[in-house]
Amino acid sequence: MAICIYCSQNKTLTREHIMPAFVYTYQDSISNSKSIGWREKAQKVLQGEAVIKDVCDHCNNVVLGTLDAHAKSALEKAGAFTPNFNKSTVDFEYDFNQYARWLLKVAFNSSRASGKHLGVFDQYKDLILDKNKNYSSFIITGGLLKPYKLTKQQKIDHGQSLFADSSGYVNPFFSRVSWAQNLPNDISVKQIVIGALVFHVVSFSPNMSRVRKRELQKEYLKMCKGMAILNKGSSRTKLSQLPLTFVDSMGPHMLREEVKPHMDKLLTSC
């Protein structure tokens, strides 16, 4: 028995996935090996599904499980689960309350697992549990990664495993959670990638004025070109291609000094 991180009650704790199990299930179905990923706390690449054991059964399988089910449905309708995504736009359909809470849940889970932004996303626990409806301290944005053109040699070496089309373009299914860098002070941004779909949870510092939030929102949108805001009053948002490929989106984190040697070793062993 221990204290559940969400409801703060003393209960038996269960393992909560950082990314939902349905993401790993699809990723494993199109791969010859189990999912692998960089683990921030362990400071190494590990195989298997990333989980954290600090959530009670009710919060995990009832409350958060409902959010996972909605997210899975919305992502399936958008065509996210494909080995080579080739759409230039998507009319993304969602229930804002459920999808925003799901993204906040993933961001909060990732922060606890990685030790990053620990003081940022815990403020949204009550909102994630649907105990309040205050959406004023964050925005949600989305976009699409564009296909990456393989060189002739890359197509020979990796085209089949990356499901390249006849012209050598790839937009493979990967999932990851990271933090956006080089953004204005007073905002924290978690980037959640499901295949070619990219979502940002943009959290503003507490007690910020509406005027300052609008200024930072404009500055953020200028820096993150192409990201579209998912509005609270809407159930559909058009997501368009960003000026980024999956390689671009992974670069800032995979090429960090502490990560690169592990990735080099992994790639040379493939």
Contacts of 186 by beta carbon, 8 Å cutoff, 6+ apart? 204, 205, 208, 212, 216
Which tokens go with 143? 């976009």
Residue type, 188: S
3-class secondary-structure state, position 135: coil
Q: Among all chains, which residue has been given the structure tokens 């626990």?
A: 125
Mean pLDDT value of segment 135-159 = 94
Query: CA 146, 151, 155 angle in degrees (round to 5)?
Result: 90
pLDDT in tens, 71-92: 999 999 999 999 999 999 999 9
- Give the pLDDT confidence of 92-134 residue by residue, as tens digits: 999 999 999 999 999 999 999 888 777 899 999 999 999 998 9
Range of 14-23, 139-148, 252-261 with top mean pLDDT: 139-148
Q: Where are the domains of the chain?
A: 82-268
pTM comes to: 0.89
CA dihedral 118, 120, 125, 130 (to 10 degrees): -150
pLDDT at 269 over 50: no
CB 22 within 8 A of CB 62: no
* Statement: residue 238 has pLDDT above 50: yes
